[in-house]
């Protein structure tokens, strides 16, 4: 029988390719640098090719064949993890490690309410959460670094399977002393002459909110852009302008007497649909659907 690379060796190689640094790769793999280096050398000897050029103690460059082997190694490791997941799914639902990606305009508002119920119902689940923008999450999902992602559409999910968790609208957030704060609702025309503060490019909520209010992308004031919903509300409280917030964020980000008030939008349509997405053919699809149902029930409870 031919000698074959071990999953340990492949994991070392993939991690070095991701970090381009032996020390950082060793830390990620929870081994010493000498152990990792030895594993890579064993793999190169087994395959009879050079996978990594060690130009200095700090600089690491993957060879062309190294890049090709890394791509195939990722696929093999994904399949090995799927094998374990298939076995686990047959014994106990939502158990073991689940790596969930979530965008920052959903995670802080939905997950704190969902996690206690998740722990009660599925105590053997070990949930690893990774927060990032949608593009990054989908990239990590595609290569197996995440098992599922919690994101919002409309957005190109790149062929992933998705479960809708419900629609959500946005509300207008205004300084408490703003003239529009005296109204029960505001409309698109009311915002026409206002300084509209939005999240920086890359956050899908920016486009979702503008589209829901029939506003062009150019309406956002590019002089003042925030990296988080929390920063947006602070900018509104400081009188820099008005903004559009996802409704689920209001309870956390707009405290009473915080200098910001929210008003419903008279003409807005649903801004986004929350979805849980995963790779087609994933062995843990039943687990993902269970998780999606729990998240959906949490949202219903929040709205009630």
At 259-284, the pLDDT tens digits run 999 999 887 788 999 999 999 988 88
According to the model, what pLDDT value does residue 124 have? 87
pLDDT band at 202 (very low <50, low <70, confident <90, very high): confident
Question: Are residue 126 and residue 76 in the same domain, yes or no?
Answer: no
Question: Are residue 66 and residue 100 in the same domain, yes or no?
Answer: no
Question: Are residue 284 and residue 146 in the same domain, yes or no?
Answer: yes
According to the model, what pLDDT value does residue 192 have? 78
pLDDT band at 220 (very low <50, low <70, confident <90, very high): low
Q: Please, which residues have CB within 8 angstroms of residue 32's CB and are 6 or more apart in sequence?
A: 26
According to the model, what pLDDT value does residue 38 have? 93
Tell me if 1 is assigned to some domain: no
- Domain range for residue 143? 95-166+274-303
- Give the domain-ending residue among 63, 84, 105: 84
The string of pLDDT tens digits covering residues 149-158 is 999 999 999 9
Q: Please, which residues have CB within 8 angstroms of residue 68's CB and are 6 or more apart in sequence?
A: none
Count: domains in the chain: 3
Considering only CA atoms, give the Rg of the chain. Answer: 23
Which one is predicted more confidently, 277 or 255? 277
Tell me if 240 is assigned to some domain: yes
Q: Per the structure block, which two tokens stand in for 166?
A: 């419900």
Question: Are residue 144 and residue 188 in the same domain, yes or no?
Answer: no
Question: Are residue 261 and residue 284 in the same domain, yes or no?
Answer: no
Q: Per the structure block, which two tokens stand in for 220?
A: 């956002």
Supply the CATH number for residue 15's domain: 1.10.10.10
Question: Are residue 147 and residue 293 in the same domain, yes or no?
Answer: yes
Question: Are residue 162 and residue 174 in the same domain, yes or no?
Answer: no
Tell me if 278 is assigned to some domain: yes
Residues making up the chain, counted from first to last? 304
Question: Are residue 244 and residue 178 in the same domain, yes or no?
Answer: yes
- Give the domain-ending residue among 84, 118, 141: 84
pLDDT band at 140 (very low <50, low <70, confident <90, very high): very high
Phi, psi of 136, deg, nearest 5: -65, -40
Tell me if 90 is assigned to some domain: no
**Segment among 68-82, 146-160, 282-296 with least mean pLDDT:** 68-82
**Segment among 24-28, 130-134, 177-181, 254-258 with least mean pLDDT:** 254-258
Tell me if 2 is assigned to some domain: no
Percent of all residues in the chain with a pLDDT value above 90, rounded to a whole number = 60
Supply the CATH number for residue 114's domain: 3.40.190.10
Q: Nearest CA to 198 among 169, 227, 164?
A: 227
According to the model, what pLDDT value does residue 161 have? 97
State the Cα–Cα distance between residues 301 and 8, nearest whole angstrom: 44
Tell me if 17 is assigned to some domain: yes
185 strand-pairing partners: 264
Question: Are residue 153 and residue 284 in the same domain, yes or no?
Answer: yes
Question: Are residue 299 and residue 215 in the same domain, yes or no?
Answer: no
The residue-averaged pLDDT of 23-39 equals: 92
- Give the domain-ending residue among 84, 104, 138: 84
Tell me if 212 is assigned to some domain: yes
**Segment among 4-18, 33-47, 216-230 with least mean pLDDT:** 216-230
The residue-averaged pLDDT of 106-128 equals: 93
The residue-averaged pLDDT of 63-78 equals: 90
Q: State pTM to two decimals.
A: 0.76
The residue-averaged pLDDT of 226-243 equals: 91
Tell me if 260 is assigned to some domain: yes
Question: Are residue 253 and residue 211 in the same domain, yes or no?
Answer: yes
Question: Are residue 278 and residue 293 in the same domain, yes or no?
Answer: yes
């Amino acid at each position: 029988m031919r000698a074959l690379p071990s999953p340990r060796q492949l994991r070392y190689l993939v991690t070095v390719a991701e970090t381009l640094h032996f020390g950082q790769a060793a830390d990620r793999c929870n081994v010493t640098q000498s152990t990792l280096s030895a594993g890579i050398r064993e793999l190169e000897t087994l395959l009879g090719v050079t996978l990594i050029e060690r130009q200095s103690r700090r600089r690491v460059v993957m060879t062309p064949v190294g890049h090709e082997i890394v791509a195939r190694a990722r696929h093999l490791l994904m399949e090995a993890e799927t094998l374990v997941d298939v076995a686990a799914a047959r014994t106990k639902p939502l158990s073991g490690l689940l790596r969930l990606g979530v965008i920052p305009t959903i995670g802080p508002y939905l997950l704190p309410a969902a996690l206690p119920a998740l722990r009660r119902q599925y105590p053997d689940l070990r949930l690893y959460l990774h927060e990032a923008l949608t593009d990054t999450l989908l990239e990590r999902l595609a290569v197996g670094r995440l098992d599922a992602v919690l994101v919002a559409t409309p957005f190109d999910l790149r062929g992933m399977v998705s479960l809708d968790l419900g629609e959500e609208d946005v509300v207008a957030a205004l300084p408490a002393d703003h003239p529009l704060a005296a109204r029960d609702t505001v409309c698109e025309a009311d915002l026409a002459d206002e300084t509209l503060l939005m999240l920086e490019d890359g956050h899908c909520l920016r486009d979702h909110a503008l589209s829901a209010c029939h506003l062009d992308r150019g309406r956002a004031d590019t002089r003042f852009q925030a990296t988080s919903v929390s920063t947006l509300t602070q900018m509104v409280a400081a009188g820099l302008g008005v903004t559009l917030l996802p409704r689920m964020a209001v309870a956390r980000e707009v405290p009473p007497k915080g200098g910001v008030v929210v008003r419903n939008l008279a003409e807005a349509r649903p801004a986004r649909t929350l979805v849980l997405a995963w790779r087609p053919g994933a062995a843990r699809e039943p687990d993902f659907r269970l998780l999606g149902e729990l998240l959906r029930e949490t949202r219903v409870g929040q709205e009630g």
